[in-house]
Amino acid sequence: MKFEARYCANLSILFTEIPFEERAAAAAHSGFQSVEMWWPFSDPVPETRAVDALLRQLERAGVELRAMNFFAGDMAAGDRGVASRPDRQVELRDSIPTLIRIAQETECRLFNLLYGQLDDRWSENEQQQTAVTAIADAAGAVKEINGTVLLEPLAAGLNGRYPLTSAQQIVDLLTEQLSTVDNVELLFDTFHLASNGFDVLNCASRYAPYVRHVQLADAPGRGEPGTGRLPFKALIDTLDHLGYAGWLGCEYKLSTSTEDSLSWLPIATG
């Protein structure tokens, strides 16, 4: 059995019953042809052998890496990116060669750059300017491999003082401060947008020209589709009608075992 090719499993949040290094194979065994992931290392500059191991894991599993995060700090401890942090720019810059190497060896071309949380040590304007510079620099780095930087609004109240909570804020950045950068686009995450009170169908219709990647999780709860109230079939039909031909990342928290959570996925035909 294989799922439709456009669906990819997020290895950082699915298959958590097993160690990370076994998840690509588990995803392939379950029916996924593609995967995505957060930054898969604890440090911005991992050891070469850790990168080699990740690449072997993907190759042996026979899955394609479609999207991954830039270094985002310690996500488990509550960090949500470092792009806006003046004190962490060196970490972000130093992590990019590893990201580029993974991209070159896997043909991954979508890279989510989490903005970062507000910190009272700096003004909001200083943090915004730091983030804009970091985003533009990251976009310049991945443009050499035809890559795209993704920016994502997150759910308010669940991600610290993360200032981007709507698709419109991302679009404002793209059309104003980043207007001269042509490879930065919107990551459309159904859970985060719905949690902030937005109608996902209306958002899809309004922001479709800016959407480069979609991640699926239900709301409330962030479980697999069918555990909340979001209209996923109508949403995907709307995106298709508006010309979205990209990946659909399964980035949800498990309400059951990973295998049992996959029953909603469409099976590939032909």
Active centre residues (catalytic) = 152, 251
Q: Select from 33, 27, 109 the least CA-distant residue to 64.
A: 33
What angle (nearest 5°) sits at the alpha carbon of residue 254, between those of residues 249 and 260? Answer: 95
CA distance 70 to 37: 10
CA distance 194 to 243: 22
Query: Which positions ≥6 away from 266 have C-beta within 8 Å?
Result: 3, 4, 7
Report the chain's terminal Cα–Cα distance, integer Å. 11
